[in-house]
Amino acid sequence: MSFGIDKFISQISVRKALVVKMDFVVDNVKYYYNLLLSSGDARVKDWPLVQSPFPTLFICLSYAYFVKVIGPFLMKNREPLNIRWLMVTYNLFMVALSTWLFCNLGVYGWFGKYDYRCQPVDYSDSPEAMGMARSAWYYYITKFIEFVDTFFFVARKKFSHISTLHVIHHGIMPMSVWWGMKYAPGGHSSFFGFINSFVHIPMYLYYGLSAIGPHMNKYLFWKKYMTSLQMIQFVAIFVHSFQLLFRDCDYPIEFVYWIGSHAILFWFLFWDFFKKTYLTSSKGAREGQGKKANGLVKNGHAPTQFACSPTETLLNCMNGDAAYTNGSVQNGNGVTTNGSVKNVSVNGTTRNRKVTRKDQ
């Protein structure tokens, strides 16, 4: 009998201990959440989406769920949408927006007022400090606008372009930038947004021109150099960030590691892309030049996939029509129309060949 009572008392004690631990966890969560809300740059705490990270997190998760699940389901039994001119308009808008951001980040800091060796955050209410903070907020908002890149893939049923890597990258960027916006809207790490906005100018110009149609390809010979420019960008960000490990600077060291680590990761991803797109493919092009296989042109030249950026898919990029798919040509040497390739060039001659397309 006493054994049963002891067991019952023991169970009650365990339950009380669990309740105490849960209360402790809840109290700590509340404490740190309130600390998160009350901390950060007081100038921006009431700006849209800045006070709490959860709205940004919700938007990012919703984006990922839509492009991987809801979007493909809605488009499953529908024809791909013809949104070429919407893509052109969007990309040209991004050119203008990137130019505006680059100029703002430069005027308020990086055109001469900021020190490239060490730049603390100016938390004052001066026009320059507030201008830089506003520019940082607009840069943060562009990370949401860039979700449109993936929505175009969904609308055009280019599901193979919506890789897990692409979605994770797009999905985490707003969350990554949010921390800088919350605690350090300006200063040393704003160099990342400054140089990134500059690179986006030719990048989105390229996307806009390529979206007009295949007849623009002759003006887009500089795609290879875009990837090189992007890799140089990451080296510059890496060097600029990690130099603070070797000199005293009144700037949060956490952001040095955060931004520098992003630069290293993206550099290796782009180097891998560069090798696969330009080095390996060029070798295959030389070996297979002029070969024919069932009316398909294979390895006739390097793929027409083009350079990517931190705000683009790291593998397939924006213009799916300018990429090879299952060995067939889409808007490469010929124009794909209703499942056929017209005016396909093989060994320097022009032939009309019908090619069955597996990917509309």
Q: What is the DSSP letter of 259?
A: H
The C-alpha atoms of residue 192 and residue 206 are separated, in whole angstroms, by 21
Owner of token pair 């562009």: 142
CA distances from 162 to 63, 111, 203, 219 (A): 12, 37, 19, 27
- C-alpha of 52 from chain center: 22
The C-alpha atoms of residue 106 and residue 130 are separated, in whole angstroms, by 14
Please confirm, yes or no, whether 169 is among the known catalytic residues.
yes
Convert 262-289 to b/e letters by CB count within 10 Å (16 or more is b): bbeebbebbeebbeebbeebeebeeeee
**Half-sphere exposure for 360 (CA within 13 Å, toward CB):** 11
3, two tokens? 């054994």
Contact 56, 121 (CB under 8 A): no
Contact 322, 332 (CB under 8 A): yes
Long-range contacts at 108-112 (CB < 8 A, ≥ 24 apart): 108/132, 108/135, 108/186, 109/186, 109/190, 109/194, 110/190, 110/191, 110/194
| Among 161, 169, 240, 262, the one annotated catalytic | 169
The C-alpha atoms of residue 351 and residue 335 are separated, in whole angstroms, by 12
Q: Which residues have a catalytic role annotated?
A: 169
